[in-house]
């Protein structure tokens, strides 16, 4: 079961779709002993996941070949077995082969990777914009067109960190104000920072982007399903770098509008 | 030290070239952001 | 190769502390470098055990987050600049003159200075931990603006880097001058042992990369104290610029750490396979190819800073290319083992483990070259696992292979084979227990450089910590092995030590006289 999770190639064909259900089950929650990337919930996340599984499959095969040859040699060509050393020092045929084959594999890998990059960098035709500002140590979210903005900081009590109190289920991955996004909408994020470099990362959304003071970076997210998704700052930003989590609630359009109206009223 | 005369000359030339190279790289790595 | 009797007419060895302070002898300086590197290895290792102890379970138990950040930063700086780089310079000092038939390094007094810069630099770095504000805590990459916030410990670090960089540059100039000018008659470039070749290439990498790093930290220093704003956005500077400059140095740096290890492996495997190295010429060209590529791939360390698409594509393709020369090297070593007649003394065990585990690190490196996937891997424990599989399993295991391989030559006594095997197996088991689970942690979403983590990461972190303590304490066995060999408790080593090894150093007695090859040997 664990091994299956590790090598399950995903998204390579309909034949494997059945296996996907099996795999999706344990990875849905943030499991203990998790071996692989978290289950993606965006198109970018899925593309990254498929690329990851493709490369993982390729490197697993390569390493099996390398280790196979190595262990065969170790067992077969040992002096204690009476092996006599050969004296060859090169073989043009072999050397051409192990230069050309890797080149072809690399080209095969480069094509889907290029496509994926084009997809990721396309921030056009977004439905809404959220400006994210990292600071020491928390996040500020600004729904620029809707006129809603708020701070979002760690909600785990200090007593849980010091061990004076039992740690909760979402220890270190809980905040006071969740970022709320509508499901199925292309959200363009503008990222910047107030003091030092931070990086905004929700693993299930696919990838991270640096929030850099003096710069405005872009990324986009379209979540395919509702739910709560958790992440963390991914660039060392000082003392409390480990304590600036991200929590995103993806909700239906109606719920989102209701939430927005509520926030605007408070605002 | 048993370096002969030919070796001494070679070492001197090598060191001169390399030292100039290092100074140039260091200087350029800063100066290009000042221009 | 001819066998050469060493010149004995002035072989008196100086006595006392002045022998070590004023020495210009390449063997003494090599010894100093190796001891320095080993001490730094233990210091940096102790720091990593503090890190792993804190990460044994979630919550803060032992140290506070600020000290944790200092530990990760200084651990890296100590290991990279204090242990691995000086360690290989030690090998270069001992071996290069003996391998090319030279009486000493080309610039013996400069050699002394290159070494004696190191203890002062290291002291500065260690002292920085005790000044107000503590040591550097922004990671070994020293990214501004975080570095600019740091206390005076950061300035100590900057001067440390200047001193260490100066030492490396002087050492590199010396090595290049030696290799280009001091070879014995008949020792053409394409006859040089591969270890000499990889060091020649490494030295050029150092000369091109270190001054750039020195420039970068100098600009940090002026940003911190002299009102400039190279990197500080508050003054119109560009923090991303620092990352570009840093990694322009940083990527060649990782090959500086690994190439000499490749050289050692290329000496060890043929000896114990009793078969000449496969593809000598392609090994030389592959090393040079890796060195060249190392200067055009730096931005793959920073895909997430928001580069233009064309930049991301260029660095992705260039990075993928590195797999080709690296693959050539791995396959050449396999082909050297193929149809050999192998025995598995400790140096060979380390060499094989180095090739096998470096392959793992190289292949995970290939996964990271794929830019879209790297947006997930970046700054997670997956990266930590990857670079320890290259730097520890590549560089350090290569160094350990070399240590066991040449220790009988250096001391004149065989090391304790039984202890060597214990050291090997505990290191390998501990290493894999420590770092293999970190692949899983990173994929599952654990960022690097955090002192505390969410509950789902607990199990693998515990495994990792247990492994790190096994690996850490196993290194004390190495100390025992080396001390025993120096004190002469093993069998006397013959001049060849191993079964008919290739190379001029094996024509000298073990231990070699204080001065060797005063008359150059003839190489046919």
Please work out, in degrees rounded to the nearest 5, the angle formed at the alpha carbon of residue C182 by the alpha carbons of C176 and C183: 105
List chain B residues with CB under 8 Å of C182: 3, 7, 11
The whole-number pLDDT of residue A22 equals: 41
A38 to A202, A221, A243, C2, C65: CA distances (angstroms): 10, 16, 20, 62, 27
For chain B, list the contacting chains (3+ Cβ pairs, <8 Å): C
- Strands A179-182 and A245-251 come out as parallel
Strand partners for C492: C413
Nearest Cα residue in chain B from C206: B22
Q: Does C338 sit within 8 Å of A241, measured CB to CB?
A: no
Choose the catalytic residue: C27, C183, C251, C388.
Answer: C251
* Contact (Cβ atoms closer than 8 angstroms) between residue C449 and residue C69: yes
- Strands A187-193 and A217-221 come out as antiparallel
Condensed to tens digits (0 to 9), the pLDDT of residues A167-184 reads 999 999 999 999 999 999
* Dihedral sign (CA C415, C417, C418, C419): positive
List chain C residues with CB under 8 Å of A172: 58, 452-454
Alpha-carbon dihedral angle through residues A142, A190, C137, C32, given to the nearest 10 degrees: 170
Q: Does B26 sit within 8 Å of C176, measured CB to CB?
A: no
**Residue ranges of the alpha helices (H) in chain A?**
2-7, 17-28, 43-76, 92-120, 158-162, 253-266
List chain C residues with CB under 8 Å of A238: 69, 137-138, 146, 149
Q: Does C460 sit within 8 Å of A232, measured CB to CB?
A: no
* Contact (Cβ atoms closer than 8 angstroms) between residue A235 and residue A129: no
pTM of the complete model: 0.93
* Contact (Cβ atoms closer than 8 angstroms) between residue A22 and residue C340: no
Nearest Cα residue in chain B from C220: B30
Catalytic site includes residue C116: no
Q: How confident is the model at residue C10 (pLDDT cuts 50, 70, 90)?
A: low
Condensed to tens digits (0 to 9), the pLDDT of residues C244-289 reads 999 999 999 999 999 999 999 999 999 999 999 999 999 999 999 9
Radius of gyration of chain A (CA): 24
Q: Rounded distance, CA A238 to CA C67, Å?
A: 11
Condensed to tens digits (0 to 9), the pLDDT of residues C289-317 reads 999 999 999 999 999 999 999 999 999 99
Number of Cβ within a 10 Å radius of residue A8: 18
Contacting B with CB below 8 Å, chain C residues are 24, 103-104, 106-108, 169, 172-173, 176-177, 180-182, 207-208, 210-212, 214-216, 218-219, 230, 241, 245, 518-519
In three-state secondary structure terms, A248 is strand
Higher pLDDT, C36 or C15: C36
Q: How confident is the model at residue A90 (pLDDT cuts 50, 70, 90)?
A: confident
Q: Rounded distance, CA C180 to CA C200, Å?
A: 9
- The secondary structure of residue C103, as a DSSP letter, is S
Q: How confident is the model at residue C524 (pLDDT cuts 50, 70, 90)?
A: confident
Q: Rounded distance, CA C411 to CA C444, Å?
A: 48
Catalytic site includes residue C310: no
A27 to A24, C328, C353: CA distances (angstroms): 5, 38, 33
Q: Rounded distance, CA A126 to CA C355, Å?
A: 48
Q: Is it the case that residue A10 has pLDDT exceeding 60? A: no
List chain B residues with CB under 8 Å of C108: 1
Specify the residue for token string 């020792």.
C187
Q: Phi and psi for A243 in degrees, rounded to 5?
A: -120, 35
Catalytic site includes residue C489: no
Q: Interface pTM (ipTM) of the complex?
A: 0.92
Higher pLDDT, B2 or C311: C311
User: In the sheet where A245-251 sits, what is the strand order?
Assistant: A179-182, A245-251, A227-233, A198-201, A208-211
List chain C residues with CB under 8 Å of B14: 106, 173, 176-177, 180-181
C-alpha distance from C395 to closest chain B C-alpha (Å): 26
Q: Rounded distance, CA C407 to CA C395, Å?
A: 18
Helical pair C381-390 and C417-444, crossing angle rounded to 10 deg: 150
Catalytic site includes residue C255: yes
Nearest by Cα to C497 from C404, C418, C424: C404
Average pLDDT for residues C88-105, to the nearest whole number? 96
Q: Is it the case that residue A166 has pLDDT exceeding 60? A: yes
Give the list of residues 6+ apart from residue A107 with CB closer than 8 angstroms, or none: none
Q: Is C90 left (phi over 0), alpha (psi -120 to 50) or beta?
A: alpha
- The secondary structure of residue C294, as a DSSP letter, is T
List chain C residues with CB under 8 Å of B3: 103, 106, 181-182
Q: Does C518 sit within 8 Å of B2, measured CB to CB?
A: yes
* Contact (Cβ atoms closer than 8 angstroms) between residue A189 and residue A200: yes
Count residue pairs from A and C with Cβ separation < 8 A. Answer: 287
* Contact (Cβ atoms closer than 8 angstroms) between residue C391 and residue C384: no
Catalytic site includes residue C382: no
Q: Does C173 sit within 8 Å of B22, measured CB to CB?
A: yes
Choose the catalytic residue: C326, C369, C395, C507.
Answer: C326
For chain C, list the contacting chains (3+ Cβ pairs, <8 Å): A, B
């Amino acid at each position: 079961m664990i091994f299956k999770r590790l090598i399950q190639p995903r998204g390579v064909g309909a034949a494997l779709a059945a296996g996907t259900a099996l795999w999706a089950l344990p990875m849905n929650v943030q499991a203990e002993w998790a071996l692989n990337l978290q289950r993606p919930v965006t198109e970018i996340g899925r593309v990254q996941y498929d690329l990851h599984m493709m490369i993982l499959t390729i490197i697993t095969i390569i390493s099996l070949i390398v280790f196979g040859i190595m262990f065969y040699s170790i067992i077969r060509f040992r002096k204690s077995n009476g092996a006599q050393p050969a004296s060859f020092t090169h073989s043009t045929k072999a050397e051409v082969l192990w230069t050309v084959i890797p080149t072809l594999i690399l080209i095969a890998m480069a094509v889907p990777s290029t496509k994926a990059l084009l997809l990721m960098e396309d921030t056009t035709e977004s439905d809404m914009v959220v400006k994210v500002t990292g600071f020491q140590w928390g996040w500020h979210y600004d729904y620029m067109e809707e006129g809603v903005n708020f701070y979002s900081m760690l909600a785990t009590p200090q007593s849980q960190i010091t061990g004076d109190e039992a740690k909760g289920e979402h220890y270190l991955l809980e905040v006071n104000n969740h970022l709320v996004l509508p499901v199925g909408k292309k959200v363009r994020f503008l990222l910047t920072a107030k003091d030092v470099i931070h990086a905004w990362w929700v693993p299930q959304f696919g990838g991270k982007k640096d929030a850099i003071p003096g710069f405005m970076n872009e990324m986009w997210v379209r979540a395919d399903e509702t739910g709560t998704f958790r992440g963390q700052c991914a660039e060392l930003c000082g003392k409390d770098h480990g304590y600036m989590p991200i929590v995103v609630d993806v909700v239906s359009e109606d719920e989102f509008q209701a939430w927005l109206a509520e926030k605007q009223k408070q605002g | 030290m048993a370096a002969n005369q030919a070796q001494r000359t070679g070492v001197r030339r090598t060191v001169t070239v390399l030292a100039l190279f290092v100074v140039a790289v260091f200087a350029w790595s800063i100066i290009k952001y000042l221009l | 190769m001819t066998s050469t009797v060493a010149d004995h007419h002035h072989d008196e060895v100086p006595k006392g502390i002045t022998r070590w302070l004023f020495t210009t002898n390449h063997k003494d300086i090599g010894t100093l470098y190796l001891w320095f590197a080993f001490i730094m290895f233990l210091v940096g290792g102790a720091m990593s055990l503090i890190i792993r102890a804190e990460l044994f379970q979630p919550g803060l138990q032992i140290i506070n987050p600020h000290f944790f950040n200092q530990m990760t930063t200084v651990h890296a700086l100590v290991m990279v600049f204090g242990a691995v780089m000086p360690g290989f310079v030690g090998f270069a000092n001992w071996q290069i003159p003996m391998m090319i038939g030279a009486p000493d390094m080309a610039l013996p007094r400069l050699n002394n200075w290159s070494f004696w810069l190191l203890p002062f630099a290291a002291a500065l770095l260690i002292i920085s931990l005790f000044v107000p504000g503590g040591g550097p805590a922004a990671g070994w990459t020293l990214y501004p603006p975080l570095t600019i916030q740091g206390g005076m410990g950061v300035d100590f670090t900057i001067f440390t880097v200047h001193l260490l960089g100066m030492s490396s540059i002087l050492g590199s100039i010396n090595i290049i001058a030696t290799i280009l000018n001091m070879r014995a008659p008949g020792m053409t470039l394409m006859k040089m042992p591969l270890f000499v070749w990889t060091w020649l290439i490494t030295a050029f990498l150092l000369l091109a990369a270190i001054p750039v790093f020195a420039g970068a930290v100098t600009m940090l220093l002026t940003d911190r104290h002299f009102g400039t704003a190279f990197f500080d956005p508050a003054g119109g500077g560009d923090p991303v610029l620092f990352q570009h400059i840093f990694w322009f140095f940083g990527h060649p740096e990782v090959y500086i750490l690994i190439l000499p290890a490749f050289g050692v492996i290329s000496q060890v495997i043929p000896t114990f396979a009793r078969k000449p190295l496969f593809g000598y010429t392609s090994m030389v060209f592959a090393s040079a190819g890796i060195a060249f590529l190392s200067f055009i791939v730096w931005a793959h360390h920073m895909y997430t800073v928001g580069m233009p698409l064309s930049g991301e594509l260029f660095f992705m393709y260039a990075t993928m290319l590195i797999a080709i020369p690296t693959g050539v090297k791995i396959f050449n070593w396999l082909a050297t083992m193929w149809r050999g007649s192998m025995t598995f003394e400790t140096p060979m065990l380390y060499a094989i483990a180095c090739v096998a585990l470096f392959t793992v690190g190289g292949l995970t490196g290939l996964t990271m070259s794929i830019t879209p996937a790297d947006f997930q891997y970046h700054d997670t424990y997956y990266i930590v696992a990857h670079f320890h599989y290259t730097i520890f399993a590549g560089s350090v295991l290569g160094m350990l292979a070399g240590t066991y391989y040449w220790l009988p030559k250096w001391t004149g006594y065989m090391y304790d084979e039984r202890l060597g095997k214990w050291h090997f197996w505990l290191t390998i088991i501990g290493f894999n227990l420590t770092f293999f689970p970190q692949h899983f942690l990173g994929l599952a979403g654990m960022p690097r450089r955090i002192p505390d983590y969410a509950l789902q990461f607990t199990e693998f972190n515990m495994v990792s910590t247990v492994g790190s303590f096994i690996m850490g304490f196993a290194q004390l066995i190495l100390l025992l092995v080396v001390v025993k060999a120096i004190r002469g408790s093993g069998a006397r080593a013959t001049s060849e030590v191993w079964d008919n090894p290739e190379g001029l150093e094996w024509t000298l007695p073990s231990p070699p006289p204080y001065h060797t090859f005063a008359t150059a040997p003839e190489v046919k």
